Structure 1
Amino acid sequence: MLEIRHLTKRFGGLAAVNDVSTTVERGKVNAIIGPNGAGKTTFFNLISGVHKPSAGQILFEGTDVTQMRPDQVACLGVSRTFQTTALFDMATVLDNLIVGHRLRTRSNLWDVITGSARLKAEERLCREKARAALDFVGLSHIGHRMAGDISQEERKRVAFALALATDPKLVLLDEPAGGVNPDETMGLAELIRKFVRHGITVCLIEHKMNMIMSLADKILVLNYGEKIAEGTPAEIRRTPAVIDAYLGAEHADA
């Protein structure tokens, strides 16, 4: 689904991502792990168009997206969440989600001024998509609440719903379980599996290794911006370089 060829991003003399080649496989949970500062979020920023690479190429379903803007990449079907979920806290949860499907609408200023039939139809569709996304993530009961009043775990689920509202093919999740307790982590892991069951490919960054090892089909390991390993969870557990750089002996296979 996604092919990365020799991707590099330099900030001055620092190579945050250095000559990384990999693929994101359709219909699977793909994970990226590594120590803090390994280049994981920069890698996501390159894929989603937030940063332009210093070198290399990014292909999404065969289309070169290397120099595309974030909105153009999103229109092709790549959505993402961020480590910190930024919402309009003084708006309702449902109103926050209505914004997500605007990516797929065509109404312009003239439609707004005239109150056109197209505007009204698209507003209805955005509301329907928002309600469907809330239902998907199990939050239909809080759609009326102000976003500033919901819990951290609920904010994480709203982030999933925002990504879903854009009609994605691939979702990039940046630390989706950060800041939530173990029971909530299990619930978010099941939500990720639900995404895949419904035909949405997932690529996530996460530090919770128990979650990753039980969830991921494929893992890419970065360290100092470079790929040091790639494979299944079982293969990653047995890789000495990964154990030394990140996992530690407690996560290694006996």
Structure 2
Amino acid sequence: MLKINNLTKRFGGLAAVNNVSIEFEANKINAIIGPNGAGKSTFFNLVAGAMPPTEGTIEYQGMNITGMACDRIARLGIARTFQTTMLFEESTVLDNLIVGHRLRTQSRLWDVIINSRRLRDEEAKCRARAQEVLDFVGLSHIGHRITADISQEEKKRVAFALALATDPELVLLDEPAGGINPEETENLAGLIRKMVDHGVTVCLIEHKMDMIMSLADKIMVLDHGEKIAEGTPEEVRNNPVVIEAYLGSDEDAAA
């Protein structure tokens, strides 16, 4: 589904992502791990179109999307969440999700001015889709609440739902389990599995290794912007280069 070829992003003399090549299969859970500052979020920014690469190409379902605008990439079927949950805090949960499906509508300013039939139909479709994804993430009971008043774990689920409201085929999740407790983390992992079971491919960045090792089909490891390993959780767990750079050995854990 996603093919990355020699992807590089330089900021002055610093290569935040350096010559990374990787392929991610459809209907799989793909993970990116590595130390802080390894280039993981920059990698997501490049794929999602938030910034252009310095070198290399990005192919999505056989189409070259390198340097394409982020809204166009989103319409092609790539959605993204962020480390810091970005929601309209003073709006209701349901209103946050209505915004997501606007990506798939055609109404323009004139439709708003004349309150056109197309606008009314699309508003109804956006509201229906918002309710669908709210049900999917298990939050139908809080759709009426102001977003600022819900828990951090609920905000994480709303962010998932917002991404799903755009009707994506690939979702990029940036540290989805950050700031939540172990039980909530396991519940969120279950939601990620549910997404894949319903045909959405997932690529996630995460520091919680227990979650990643039990969840991912494939893992890529970045360090100082470079790919140092890729493979199954078992292969990555036992890779001496990864142990040295990031995971640490059993002896290190016991020290």
| TM-score, scaled relative to structure 1 | 0.98
Task: Report the Cα distance in structure 2 between the residues aligned to 1:54 and 1:67, rounded to whole angstroms.
Answer: 9
The 3-state SS of whatever aligns with 1:47 is helix
Distance 1:62 1:111, change over 3 A: same
Give a deviation string over 1:22-77, Cα, whole Å, max 9, x none. Answer: 01110100000000000000000000000100000000001110020000000000
The 3-state SS of whatever aligns with 2:9 is strand
Task: Report the Cα distance in structure 2 between the residues aligned to 1:238 and 1:146, rounded to whole angstroms.
Answer: 46
Which residue matches 2:177? 177
Which residue matches 2:45? 45
Task: Report the Cα distance in structure 2 between the residues aligned to 1:191 and 1:94, rounded to whole angstroms.
Answer: 19
Task: Report the Cα distance in structure 1 between the residues aligned to 2:192 and 2:158, rounded to whole angstroms.
Answer: 13
Which residue matches 2:164? 164
Distance 1:250 1:165, change over 3 A: farther
- Correspondence 1:38-117 to 2 at 5 A: 38-117=38-117
Question: Superposition RMSD on alpha carbons, in Å?
Answer: 1.0
The 3-state SS of whatever aligns with 1:244 is helix
Which residue matches 1:232? 232
Give a deviation string over 1:184-224, Cα, whole Å, max 9, x none. Answer: 00000000000000000000000000000000000000000
- Correspondence 1:3-22 to 2 at 5 A: 3-22=3-22
Which residue matches 1:127? 127
Task: Report the Cα distance in structure 1 between the residues aligned to 2:251 and 2:153, rounded to whole angstroms.
Answer: 26
Task: Report the Cα distance in structure 2 between the residues aligned to 1:71 and 1:195, rounded to whole angstroms.
Answer: 22
2:243–2:249 Cα contact (<8 Å) kept: yes
Which residue matches 2:196? 196
| TM-score, scaled relative to structure 2 | 0.98
Identity of aligned residues (%): 69
Structure 2 unaligned regions, length at least 5: none
1:251 Cα offset (Å)? 10
Structure 1 unaligned regions, length at least 5: none
2:218–2:232 Cα contact (<8 Å) kept: yes
1:250 Cα offset (Å)? 3.7
Task: Report the Cα distance in structure 2 between the residues aligned to 1:120 and 1:218, rounded to whole angstroms.
Answer: 43
Number of aligned residues? 252
1:237–1:251 Cα contact (<8 Å) kept: no
2:51–2:67 Cα contact (<8 Å) kept: no
Q: Which amino acid aligns with 2:125?
A: L
